[in-house]
Amino acid sequence: MKEPWSSAAPARRKLLAPILPMLFFVLLLGMGNTLKTPGAALWRAAPEFWIYPLQTLLGAGLLIYFRREYEFHRLRRPVFATAIALLVFILWIAPQQFFRFPARVVGFNPDIFAAEPALYWTTLAARFLRLVVVVPLIEEVFWRGFLLRYLITEKFETVPFGDFSWLSFAIVTLAFGFSHSIADWPAAFITGALYNVVAYRTKSLSSCVLAHGLTNLALGLWIVATKQWGFW
């Protein structure tokens, strides 16, 4: 009676490894949106100030817990991945930077802690850790490492990373886009397609994480420089 359970457990763990970090990340984000109450105390008026660190800690913890289930592959074509990262960055800032769209100044603004330097820098460092490290890992493990292959066959671990299918390409591109706010949909759809191309061209999850992380780093620095907090 133990054999079916023992044989199913590794498969179940492989399935949970990419899904759970993304699931809890999205649930916490939704909880933050639900709790948001203008004019209330800070923890409810701007729940992102404690939701984001919680997402970072929980997401990183789950990634570490399931670390043996991920295959990141050797970094390949880093120049290509970097070029895609910069192209995606330009896509995201283009409306405001080049086409005079209204600046997006409402959002996660660490300047509210400007009078307390230690708290300000801790908050900003935690935000960049989430943006540049945890988010790219969670999202690339899920979108490119899991879903792009799962839509080819349920036994996704048998599909070589970077195998192409029009169905999986289209669904992941659309789902990635729709997972962002409406204002970001045009850029997010193109971003999803371009990150898929990184997966196909490099056959390396590490290269996808690199592209995503570099995009987010550039975007984060641009946000701080321009104070367009709505891009967080």
Q: Which of 76, 23, 60 is nearest to 208 (CA)?
A: 76
Tens of pLDDT, residue by residue over 24-79, are: 999 999 998 888 888 788 788 889 899 999 999 999 999 999 999 999 999 999 99
| The token pair that represents 18 in the structure block | 């990419």
Angle at 221 between CA 117 and CA 181, to 5 degrees: 105
Window from 8-17, 51-60, 72-81, 122-131 with minimum mean pLDDT: 8-17
Q: How far is CA 228 from the centre of its chain?
A: 19
| The token pair that represents 97 in the structure block | 């930077």
Tens of pLDDT, residue by residue over 145-177, are: 999 999 999 999 999 999 999 999 999 999 999
Mean pLDDT across the chain, nearest whole number? 93
Question: What percent of the chain shows pLDDT beyond 90?
Answer: 84
DSSP 8-state code for residue 1: -
Q: For residues 205 and 215, what is the distance between their CA atoms, to the nearest angstrom?
A: 15
More confident residue, 112 or 142: 142
Tens of pLDDT, residue by residue over 177-190, are: 999 999 999 999 99
| The token pair that represents 50 in the structure block | 């404690």
